[in-house]
Chain A
């Protein structure tokens, strides 16, 4: 079945460092891909998304490119801030609409801590 694998954390960076969180997926067809972020004590919220190959999602300085050839959707940010400290989840939504319509498949999450 469909699955998402993301790098295990925790990841600790200094402010202004470059961030990469790796995410690879297994899916039939052409899924949509997402990054969700969970700030401490809050629910998840959508950070960015891409719906087809070579699409680049971007938001709040974060970017991720849908790479079909490597089945990857790595999250990057050029200069992290303390306020970026959160748990980041990669997720996919398959194109099979029977029986599990709309269900996202989440990775296990990567905790990021940014130190001043």
Chain B
């Protein structure tokens, strides 16, 4: 049972470099999310998608771009990495958002360090 898979799991970048984090889910979920987790800050939503071909900004979208070309994949891009983007990134997906429940399923995280 793969669930939500993130690649890569670890990456070290130099300031100004670019990279893409890939999130893949095999549960046929409509909704997908990218969060970042920083010490003492909890999880903060970067971008999300409510379906194939759609994306929307979350709480902290600056410096990131996303794409959802296929329903099962949600890509998070950093065009010019900055040390402030050093964090652990989590992808999540959910089946429904239009009701009171709607459990999120998380990947294992991607640890990014920007030097």
Contacts and interface: CB of A to CB of B under 8 A. Distances in A.
Mostly helix, strand, loop or mixed at chain B's interface?
loop
B90 interface: yes
A101 B104 contact: no
Interface residues of B, number: 27
A101 B102 CA distance: 10
Contact of B108 (A34, A43, A51): A43
SS class, residues of chain A in contact with chain B: loop
Given A32-B101, A43-B4, A103 B42 contact: no
Contacts, number: 64
Contacts of A97: 97-98
Contacts of A108: 40-42
Interface residues of A, number: 26
14 contacts: A32-B102, A41-B108, A42-B108, A42-B109, A49-B103, A89-B43, A93-B100, A97-B97, A100-B58, A101-B97, A102-B33, A102-B48, A102-B50, A109-B43
Interface of B: 4, 31, 33, 40-43, 45, 48, 50, 56, 58, 90, 92, 94, 96-98, 100-104, 106-109
Interface of A: 32, 34, 36, 41-46, 49, 51-52, 89, 93, 95, 97, 99-104, 106-109
